[in-house]
Amino acid sequence: MRLAIVVLAGALAAACTATETRTVVVPADDACSAYGYAHGTEGYRICAEREAAARRRGRMAAGYAQAMIAADAQEACLSYGLGRGTDRYERCMQREVNYRRPG
């Protein structure tokens, strides 16, 4: 009888354990929000201006070296005020490298 009670208590405890998963949806064209800047802040404004300037320059030519693409992306992410080694910086690098690849 005690074994049944212990097993039942364990099963109930396991059933009461909850895991919460949150998904944050950011508009695809709003990189600055994805980097963690809040709308209406000075950091967001600077990021948006630099992001727009980078988009106007467009993609790089097919012969542009991968190392130069990475260097340009790093420069852009640092100019947005993102610190190296942070999640925001890594997301920025992925986006910036993809924007710069020849299309």
Tell me, yes or no, whether 12 lies in a domain. Answer: no
Q: Would you say 44 and 68 are in contact if contact means Cβ atoms under 8 Å apart?
A: no
Given this model, what pLDDT does residue 93 score? 92
Total structural domains within the chain: 1
Tell me, yes or no, whether 57 lies in a domain. Answer: yes
pLDDT at 21 over 80: no
Tell me, yes or no, whether 85 lies in a domain. Answer: yes
SS3 22: coil
Global pTM?
A: 0.50
pLDDT at 96 over 80: yes
Report residue 88 as tokens: 């925001």
What's the pLDDT tens digit per position in 34-66? 788 888 889 888 888 887 777 777 665 656 677
Report residue 76 as tokens: 């852009």
Given this model, what pLDDT does residue 85 score? 92
Tell me, yes or no, whether 78 lies in a domain. Answer: yes
Tell me, yes or no, whether 6 lies in a domain. Answer: no
* Residue among 80, 11, 20 at smallest CA distance from 95: 80
Given this model, what pLDDT does residue 14 score? 64
Tell me, yes or no, whether 47 lies in a domain. Answer: yes
- Structural domain of 83: 26-100
What's the pLDDT tens digit per position in 68-92? 888 888 988 998 889 999 999 999 9
Alpha helices in 17-86 (DSSP H): 31-34, 42-57, 66-79
Tell me, yes or no, whether 64 lies in a domain. Answer: yes
pLDDT at 26 over 50: no
d(CA 93, CA 84): 10
**Of 22 and 64, the one with more pLDDT:** 64
Tell me, yes or no, whether 11 lies in a domain. Answer: no
Q: How deeply is 96 buried, as exposed, middle or buried, from its count of CB atoms within 10 A (0-12, 13-18, 19+)?
A: buried
Q: Would you say 32 and 40 are in contact if contact means Cβ atoms under 8 Å apart?
A: no
